[in-house]
Amino acid sequence: MAEEQEKKTFDWLPEGMEPLADGEYDAIIMGTGLKECVISGLLSVQGMRVLQMDRNNYYGADCASLNLTNLYKKFNAGEPPESLGANRDFNVDLIPKFIMACGNLTKMLLHTKVTRYLEFKSIEGSYVYKGGKILKVPATPEEALRSPLMGLFEKRRFRSFLVYVDHYDETKPETHKGKDLTVMTMKELYVSFGLQPDTHQFISHAMCLELDDVHLDQPALATLKGLQVYCYSLSRYGTSPYIYPVYGLGGLPEGFSRLCAIHGGTFMLNRDVDEIMYNDKGEAIGVKSGNEMARAKFVVGDPSYFPKEKVRQTGQIVRCVCFLNHPIPNCGDLESVQIIIPGPQVNRKNDIFVCSIASSHSVSASGVYIAIVSTKMEGDDADKEVVPGLALLGHIMQRFTMVATTYEPMSDGNSDKCYISSSFDASSHFEADVDDLLSLYKRVSGKDLDMNINADSVEADY
């Protein structure tokens, strides 16, 4: 049997080349970012033979969580000061994001049972920046009536709007109240409740998590569904709609990698891909690394593994990682918060996102708070882009700034068997990124991922 396998492996190998790992696979995944690891986990559960490679010597790629030494090394910042605490106490995300408690990423974690490898804690507060102040996003209709975000009569209109959203069911016309949200725009829906433009902005950016104002002139249904997920998630924990894994986001790709490995997947860290191999039709059939090759029916990966002609640039994102010795001011002394600064509040098109986490989530030493400010760049000066966010933080002990160019695939991958994920966006949540992940899964597998699975009914023991 071993001889037959060896012979089969060598059938397609050029002279002088050796097989990479087992040689033949159904899929080769390049990179161990969250999207790539979710795909490898899902494919392996379906019985596919998967090889996953990463040029780095750690899991997570751009989604990794770094300890203090690796963080300072990445930014060429010298040795970390001893005053910050022990190296092992830090797990600093390179792409900081929170998880919607009842969103699609949580559903993936539950029905793949990756949750058994992770522990989550809720984020303590969700805030929005308005008129130069940090204001709490109301967690209930009753809290909305006490919120300084709106005047008295606007609060009542807002409460009526929330009740409508809560009762709305796409399959039950009696809950639509005569409004066809496949035609009515989001702006028209707001106006139908008498809500003012300032309130439109607050709801859209802080609750619907829209990144700009384009959605206002589009059919309201998709935005309303996003608002429902926010409200459901909020009602689950009562303080904010977000959860976050203890020890940082790096645990997410590691969890899906473990799922893949349990189902026979092969992993190779610290191994770059030198070349993607194609057949005469221009379809990817494998990869070359050094003098070794592996073949597969298709390849999946993040944009950095593919030739420039297969991806297009979509912009740049600036992210600042800051160490504080205090919670973010004006947020009730909470360790973990998200603050959304709607772009129009600071004369920008794109929102600025501020989030903080600390030792309660096991990402820093006691007394050290990690605050991250991120936004899509609109000019050439990265520091200038994040000024409104940094201004909210108070005294900053240490700051690391990175600018990342973002990409998306030129095609869906069906013609060349190269299935490419899009870069992570600037937001401090995963909602748009999960949409890309679901799209990637459909392109790879040819079918939608069933997001209606009840986790309690999944009996397979991983």
Q: Which of 237-241, 288-292, 337-341, 398-402 has the lowest mean pLDDT?
A: 237-241
Residues 63/133, Cβ–Cβ less than 8 Å: no
- Give 92's contacts (C-beta < 8 A, 6+ positions apart): 65, 66, 67, 68, 71, 248, 321, 363, 364, 370
The answer to whether the CB of 346 falls within 8 A of the CB of 403 is: no
Question: What pLDDT shows up at residue 314?
Answer: 96
Q: How far apart are the two ends of the chain, measured CA to CA in Å?
A: 29
Do 20 and 294 form a contact (C-beta atoms < 8 A)? yes
Tokens describing residue 190: 């707001």
Q: Which two tokens mark 419? A: 């299935």
Question: How much is the pLDDT for 234?
Answer: 87
Q: Encoding tokens for residue 328?
A: 């973010």
Where are the strands (E) in 182-291, listed by range? Answer: 242-245, 266-268, 275-278, 284-289
Please count the other Cβ atoms lying within 10 Å of the Cβ belonging to residue 314.
15
Q: Work out the pLDDT band at 305, boundaries 50, 70, 90.
A: very high
Amino acid 462: pLDDT: 30
Angle ∠(76,317,364) on CA atoms, nearest 5: 50
Alpha helices in 291-414 (DSSP H): 382-385, 387-390
Centre a 10 Å sphere on the Cβ of residue 382 and count the other Cβ atoms it contains.
17
- pLDDT on residue 39: 95
pLDDT confidence tier of residue 461, bands split at 50, 70 and 90: very low
pLDDT at 9: 55
376-414 pLDDT per residue, tens: 999 999 999 999 999 999 999 999 999 999 999 999 999
Note whether 283 and 416 are within 8 A (CB): yes
Residue of 243, 239, 242, 244 lying closest to 137 (CA atoms):
239
Instruction: Using the predicted structure, report yes or no on whether residue 235 has a pLDDT greater than 50.
Output: yes
Residue 260 structure tokens: 């893949």
Cβ neighbourhood burial of 101 (10 Å; 0-12, 13-18, 19+):
buried
pLDDT tens digits for 321-372? Answer: 999 999 999 999 999 999 999 999 999 999 999 999 999 999 999 999 999 9
157 pLDDT band (50/70/90 cuts)? very high
| 452 φψ region: left (φ > 0), alpha (ψ -120 to 50), beta (else) | alpha
* DSSP H or E stretch at residue 45: helix 34-45
Range with lowest mean pLDDT among 134-138, 299-303, 333-337: 134-138
314 within 8 A of 377, measured Cβ to Cβ? no
pLDDT tens digits for 178-227? 999 999 999 999 999 999 999 999 899 999 998 888 999 999 999 999 99
pLDDT given at position 186: 97
For strands 242-245 and 398-409, give the pairing.
unpaired
Q: Kindly tell me if the per-residue pLDDT of 90 is higher than 90.
A: yes
Pairing of strands 311-324, 369-376: antiparallel
Instruction: Please say if the pLDDT value at position 460 is more than 50.
Output: no
Q: Token digits for 310?
A: 């297969």
Q: What percent of the chain has pLDDT over 90?
A: 75
CA 453 from centre of chain: 21
Could you tell me which of 97, 215, 228, 113 has the C-alpha nearest to residue 165?
Answer: 228
